[in-house]
Amino acid sequence: MKITDVRWTPVFIPIEAPLRYAFGSHPGFSRIVVEVHTDEGLIGLGECYGGASREGQLAELRPLLIGEDPFQLERIRWKLAAPSALKLFGYVLGFAALEFACLDLQGKALGKPVCDLIGGKMRNEIPFAGYLFYRYANDKGAGEVSNSTQMVAFAKQLVEQYGFATLKYKNGVLPPDEEIETFIALREAFPKLKIRLDPNAAWSVTTAIRVARKLHDYDLEYLEDPVWGMRAMGRVNAKAPWVTLASNMSVFAFEDLVPNVVMDVLDVVLLDPHWYGGITRAKLAGQICEAMGVDIGMHSGAEFGISQAAMLHLAAALPNLTVAPDSHYHHLTDDIIDGGKLQYHDGKMAVPTGPGLGVTLDRDKLAKYHELAKQQQMGSWIEDSRRPGMIICQPKW
Ligand SMILES: [Mg+2]
């Protein structure tokens, strides 16, 4: 089988209400759907973050992939995405989408799901964390989450609707004292649920240690990226040793795994098949963590159905995945895959069983949301349209 073409389509899907985080807000989710064509008529699907820079990566990688056999993944990696090329030229996200598509092609050619190609399935369904964000009101004036009462009500609605057993509370939006108060309110409202915090490195070491001290007796599952950089994370670990620290910002690439252990920085590495350069590479990173006695979880970057399927196959094949992966998926109002959105049952999502990634494109919806992408003034991840001109320092507090 030989690859004959690579095509991509930017898509924008609206969400219930704009999500806020430390450095901006998201009016909806922008992604790029990638299709890799072959001389045998099979089409492999991939997906990555939206935006002009990702389209540029795909345009640069496209001619290098044409003519290759999608089964020769190691050769393709060294041709398109050697470690230095990933780091120096920033190809990692575009390459990951192409790797998903190659695995999808392998599975389709063999009639096997992707999880069977990367070691096999250790579980049939994956529990996810319900992702709690502060939100602006939507165009209809609904959906605002700006205080403790609204956040607890939002969490109750999500737990009732989807059955989540873990909650992830996005921090770094309001002053830390208000967010501490809201964490305690969530803890009291959900005494049996696991609850994690993530301020996206918006805090100073001093603030992070203070928050850790205040939440000492409130059963925090883990504190994710309270501060920026391994040195600062290591200081929080040293001075608040009772807190489990997790990261997808200070530790997010192969090169970070060894320094994390040598410098005794943190205990939960949040993998992401996009940021580690594909499903197979994220699987390897998970196994390296297993060997080094580091726990793993999974980061979410606002995936649609193709990337969500990639995460499900990866999660199914990682025996040491002990914490519920994050997912933005429940915020989406629709998806571009056949059959509509993937469904939750008791907070879990089934691993697709069809060949390859196990999802197929709904062409009508792809066209519909591509039109929205064209209309959308593609903002960056670090922009807040409600607060134009805003500049946020790191640390913010
Ligand atoms: Mg994070």
Q: How far is the CA of 69 from the centre of ligand 1 (A)?
A: 35
The dihedral over CA atoms of 378, 13, 131, 294, expressed in degrees to the nearest 10, equals -70
Average pLDDT over residues 304-328: 98
Catalytic-labelled residue, pool 37, 170, 194, 283: 170
Catalytic-labelled residue, pool 283, 299, 331, 396: 299
Residues 6+ apart with CB under 8 A from 82: none
Q: What is the pLDDT of residues 278-295, one digit of tens each?
A: 999 999 999 999 999 999
Q: Catalytic annotation on 239?
A: no
Tokens coding 91:
């190809």
Q: What is the DSSP letter of 90?
A: -
The dihedral over CA atoms of 236, 297, 104, 307, expressed in degrees to the nearest 10, equals -70
Q: How far is the CA of 326 from the centre of ligand 1 (A)?
A: 9
Q: How far is the CA of 106 from the centre of ligand 1 (A)?
A: 31
Confidence of residue 390 (pLDDT cuts 50, 70, 90): confident
Q: What is the DSSP letter of 326?
A: B
Q: How far is the CA of 34 from the centre of ligand 1 (A)?
A: 25
pLDDT score for 385: 79
Fold: same for 3-115+363-375 and 116-350: no
Confidence of residue 379 (pLDDT cuts 50, 70, 90): low
Q: Catalytic annotation on 170?
A: yes
Evaluate whether 295 touches 322 at the Cβ level (below 8 Å): yes
Percent of the chain with pLDDT over 90: 92
Mean pLDDT of the chain: 96
Q: How far is the CA of 73 from the centre of ligand 1 (A)?
A: 29
Q: How far is the CA of 357 from the centre of ligand 1 (A)?
A: 25
- Statement: residue 87 has pLDDT above 90: no
Q: How far is the CA of 278 from the centre of ligand 1 (A)?
A: 18
Q: For the domain 3-115+363-375, what is the CATH code?
A: 3.30.390.10
CATH fold label, 116-350: TIM Barrel (3.20.20)
> Residue ranges per domain, the chain?
3-115+363-375, 116-350
Q: What is the pLDDT of residues 206-250, one digit of tens each?
A: 999 999 999 999 999 999 999 999 999 999 999 999 999 999 999
Q: What is the pLDDT of residues 125-171, one digit of tens each?
A: 999 999 999 999 999 999 999 999 999 999 999 999 999 999 999 99
d(CA 261, CA 256): 9
Percent of the chain with pLDDT over 70: 99
Confidence of residue 99 (pLDDT cuts 50, 70, 90): very high
pLDDT score for 377: 66
| Lowest mean per-residue pLDDT among 36-40, 87-91, 281-285 | 87-91
Q: Give whole-number Cα distances, 394 to 152, 200, 211, 222, 282, in Å.
A: 28, 10, 17, 21, 28
From first CA to last CA, the distance across the chain in angstroms is 54
The 10 Å Cβ neighbour count of residue 297 is: 26
Q: Residue for token digits 């305690």? A: 184
Tokens coding 9:
């389509």
- Statement: residue 310 has pLDDT above 80: yes
- Statement: residue 378 has pLDDT above 90: no
